[in-house]
A and B are shown apart, each in its own frame.
Chain A
Amino acid sequence: DGGITQSPKYLFRKEGQNVTLSCEQNLNHDAMYWYRQDPGQGLRLIYYSQIVNDFQKGDIAEGYSVSREKKESFPLTVTSAQKNPTAFYLCASSIGALSYEQYFGPGTRLTVT
Chain B
Amino acid sequence: DAKTTQPPSMDCAEGRAANLPCNHSTISGNEYVYWYRQIHSQGPQYIIHGLKNNETNEMASLIITEDRKSSTLILPHATLRDTAVYYCIVRVPNNDMRFGAGTRLTVKP
Contacts and interface: CB of A to CB of B under 8 A. Distances in A.
A98 B32 CA distance: 12
A33 B96 contact: yes
Interface size range on B against A: 10 to 19
Given A98-B94, A100-B32, A43 B99 contact: yes
Interface secondary structure of B, over-half rule:
loop
B68 interface: no
A102 B46 CA distance: 7
A41 interface: yes
Contacts of A98: 93-94
B33 to A, nearest CB: 11
Interface residues of A, number: 26
Contact of A101 (B49, B96, B98, B102): B49
B100 A92 contact: no
Interface of A: 4, 33, 35, 40-45, 48, 58, 88, 90, 92, 97-107, 109
15 contacts: A4-B43, A33-B96, A42-B87, A42-B99, A43-B97, A45-B97, A97-B94, A98-B93, A99-B93, A100-B34, A100-B49, A102-B44, A102-B46, A104-B44, A104-B45
